Amino acid sequence: MFKKSALKNGLRILTVPMKNANSVTVLLLVGTGSKYETKDINGISHFLEHMFFKGTQKRPNTLAISETLDKIGGQYNAFTSKEVTGFWAKVDKKHTDVALDWISDIFLNSKFDAEELEREKGVVTEELNMYLDTPTSYVSELFEELLYGDTPAGWRIVGEKETIAAYNREKLMDYFQSHYSNDNTVLCVAGDIDQADIEKKLAEYFADIQIRKAAEKLPVKESQSKPGIFLHYKKTDQTHFCLGVRAYDMYDKRRFALQLISVVLGGNMSSRLFISVRERNGLGYYIHTSVDSATDTGYLVTQSGIKNDSLEKAIGLVLKEYKDIRDNGVSPDELQKAKDFVRGSASLSLDSSDALASFYTTQEVMRQEVMTPEQKLEMIDNVTADDIKKVAKDIFVNAKLNLSVIGPFEEKEKEKLEKLLSL
């Protein structure tokens, strides 16, 4: 069983013992991301994440930082999303102390050197170029930009080239001081561990964390009265699109029914849309439906890459399934299959220390409430066919419908596509 506690300095810690596991994962998650930024520093959460790997007093440069875990075959990385920034290390359990020392060192003692900052601007700019050249990633960003517009929720996590170029050490340190503290940070250790022993070590390694109230983000305001479309012209051999609807945040209990709807629609290779779009009509290689639920936003979206001349047909096929679930619901067999899929997928995905660490820590940072895997699965099991139909009737309406497209389509074709977007 996982255990939640707090150090004397207020840092929340989670310990998740896994008997007979060979690995231990240390995950440190901070409740900040691009939703916490202002326009002039958009992308700074992500940029700051990079700077934690540039040197400490103990490990003066990137080479020294990376070699620490490379020499023991460890895995490590960091990530930034709209609402959280994370740092993690996964090692053989006999090297647990190395991982604890490494994480605490980069988190508490990074130098954020000005010269390294200037050099990293080129790296992050190329990361941005990579995303812009990858339609499968970029089309998702355009979908969120369509939903939330010129607000933090609609901005790019990595930032824009202009804002990246304007970063300096003063801006970086101001953001670090106001957004990194004991108040919004959670530390998790998962694997073959002794909980009491680990808690003592964490108290030593993280005694010097900043103690202050962390800055908060502005709430997102949802606003839409008709279907929305975002066309991005690009000469491509394949058209990529995201077609979906506004839905529920992570506090809404309807999210469990929403998850099952996404599975039925496009969660696996026997889902409705995989069979319809790929197998029956041969329009594209990939298609999937997923749900995104954050603290104050949520949506369901179907994404696919299809033949350039088949966009209208693909949109029609997706909308047909949206309408069918709204009007006719799902059969008992289909509902049970979706529930069994979620249960089986959860069992497989949580079979490692890093997955369990992420499962528990993300909940604690974003919701300040932790459900066990079994508690979540119980909520899934309790979803009825009537629940599915009620949610489908609520979300599958014209006023919540949105489409983003990357492909060889001029703006003049927008009107034709708008006529297709009707539920």
Q: In the block, which residue shows the tokens 């080129």?
A: 122
Q: What's the CA gap between 350 and 28, in Å, rounded? A: 18
Report the half-sphere exposure of 151 (CA within 13 A, side-chain side). Answer: 14
Asked if 348 and 307 count as a contact pair (C-beta separation under 8 A), the reply is no
> What does pTM read for this prediction?
0.96
Structural element, H or E, at residue 373:
helix 373-381
Q: What's the CA gap between 119 and 126, in Å, rounded? A: 12
Structural element, H or E, at residue 78:
strand 75-80
Q: What's the CA gap between 52 and 341, in Å, rounded? A: 38
Q: Which residues are catalytically annotated?
A: 49
Could you tell me which residues are beta bridge partners of residue 299? 246, 292
Given this chain, do its domains 3-205 and 228-420 carry the same CATH topology? yes
Q: What's the CA gap between 325 and 335, in Å, rounded? A: 11
Burial of 171 (0-12, 13-18, 19+ CB in 10 A): middle
Q: What's the CA gap between 372 and 315, in Å, rounded? A: 38
* Helix, coil or strand: residue 190: strand
> What letter represents residue 230's amino acid?
F
Among 258, 222, 145, 227, which residue's Cα sits nearest to residue 402? 227
Chunked mean pLDDT (size 10), the chain, 423 residues:
94 95 97 98 98 98 98 98 98 98 98 97 98 96 97 97 98 98 97 96 96 93 94 96 97 97 98 98 97 96 97 98 98 98 96 96 93 96 98 98 97 92 96
Q: What residue spans define the domains of the chain?
A: 3-205, 228-420
CATH of domain 228-420: 3.30.830.10
3-205: in CATH 1.20.1290.10: no
What is the CB neighbour count within 10 angstroms for residue 382? 12
Report the half-sphere exposure of 337 (CA within 13 A, side-chain side). Answer: 17
Q: Which pLDDT score, from 0 to 100, does residue 367 have?
A: 87
Q: What's the CA gap between 181 and 302, in Å, rounded? A: 37
Q: Which pLDDT score, from 0 to 100, does residue 331 have?
A: 97
Q: Which pLDDT score, from 0 to 100, does residue 301 have?
A: 98
